[in-house]
Amino acid sequence: MSDLKNKRIINVATTGSWPTKENNPNVPLHPDEIAEEIYNCWKAGAATAHIHCRDDEGKAAMITEKFVEVFRILREERKDCDIILNTTTSGGMGLSEDDRLRPCFTVRPELASYDVGSMNWQHRTVFNNNPMFLERLATMLNEINVKPEIEIFDAGMLYNAQYYMEKGFLKKPAYFQFCMGVPGGMAATTKNLVILKDIMEEIAPGSPWSAFGVGKGAMEIMYAAIAMGGHVRVGMEDNVIYRKGELAKSNMQFVERAKRVIEEFGCEVATPDEARQILSLK
């Protein structure tokens, strides 16, 4: 692993559950658009892709067939693409637990999101990740050999993760994604990122981690994460604006910028196979 310490993984989250074509006409919503965007982000330097899909009206949904189509295109039509695929297990607010689990169980990605606590999402509704659901999700992921990407929206969720590690639901080495700047969660500041990393090192020393900031904190968190030895997530799930007053032209634009920053800092962008080693994927 020592020869990988200078490597930084670029995660791309192309779609998410909230942005629409009205927010940015370049957001990919249909399976063929999502797959093509992921493929082009892979060519630009992304090693992992976090996947959300939408229904035919472009609304947040967990329709298994949509995920199957994205995977089919990337694994059958784009056979040269070895990007690590990571499916959401949230999909949006108010979805049933069965619907949230079914796509992951069907496509069996290498990674899947594991949101390790409930929260008041954007001060409007509850993002429900109750204890029974978290046990059920972890059990399923262990059974189908999918590694959880443990998503952390505030410091208390790290202690939730510690609990599930002690109970055997989450395995070590763990992989954490610090999701910062979402209203209802922890603000996207370097000070807060240091706090999260320090707590993580207490409960799961040496675990690989990644971070992103929503909105105005995006650049600060990207710079800080790279400097602190972490990895980064970029993409239109988190930000549809590339810089103030300028809509993003594509997800590739975010990946290309992350690659430049990583290299300017004196690090190297991890390939998918290097990312598999860093994340201990089987």
For residue 1, pLDDT beyond 60: no
**Identity at 198, one-letter amino acid code:** D
Instruction: Determine the average pLDDT of the residues in 20-28.
Output: 97
φ and ψ of 209, to 5 deg? -150, 160
Give residue 282's pLDDT band: very low, low, confident or very high (50, 70, 90).
Answer: confident
pLDDT over 70 percentage in the chain: 99
Instruction: Determine the average pLDDT of the residues in 170-195.
Output: 98
For residue 214, pLDDT beyond 80: yes
Residue 231 and residue 225 in contact, taking contact as beta carbons nearer than 8 Å? yes
**Identity at 98, one-letter amino acid code:** D
pLDDT tens digits, 90-147: 999 999 999 999 999 999 999 999 999 999 999 999 999 999 999 999 999 999 999 9
**Identity at 65, one-letter amino acid code:** E
For residue 27, pLDDT beyond 60: yes
Write down the pLDDT at residue 109. 98
**Which of the listed CATH numbers 3.40.50.1820, 3.40.50.2300, 3.20.20.70, 3.30.70.360 matches domain 2-278?**
3.20.20.70
Taking each helix axis from N to C end, the angle separating 155-166 and 190-203, rounded to the nearest 10 degrees, works out to 10
pLDDT tens digits, 39-98: 999 999 999 999 999 999 999 999 999 999 999 999 999 999 999 999 999 999 999 999
Mean pLDDT of the chain: 97
Write down the pLDDT at residue 140. 98
Taking each helix axis from N to C end, the angle separating 131-143 and 155-166, rounded to the nearest 10 degrees, works out to 60
**Identity at 29, one-letter amino acid code:** L
| Alpha-carbon torsion angle 130, 131, 132, 134, nearest 10 | 90
First to last CA, the chain: 15
pLDDT tens digits, 236-256: 999 999 999 999 999 999 999
**Beta strand residue intervals within the chain, DSSP E:** 7-8, 10-13, 48-51, 53-54, 60-61, 84-87, 111-115, 119-121, 125-127, 147-152, 176-180, 209-213, 231-234, 241-243, 246-247, 268-269
Euclidean distance between CA atoms 213 and 235, whole angstroms: 11
Domain map of the chain by residue range? 2-278
Neighbour-count burial of 3, counting CB atoms closer than 10 A to its CB (0-12 exposed, 13-18 middle, 19+ buried): exposed
Cα–Cα distances in angstroms (integers) from residue 49 to residues 9, 155, 156, 236, 241, in the given order: 11, 25, 26, 12, 19
Please give the structure tokens belonging to residue 38.
């992921």
Write down the pLDDT at residue 2. 60
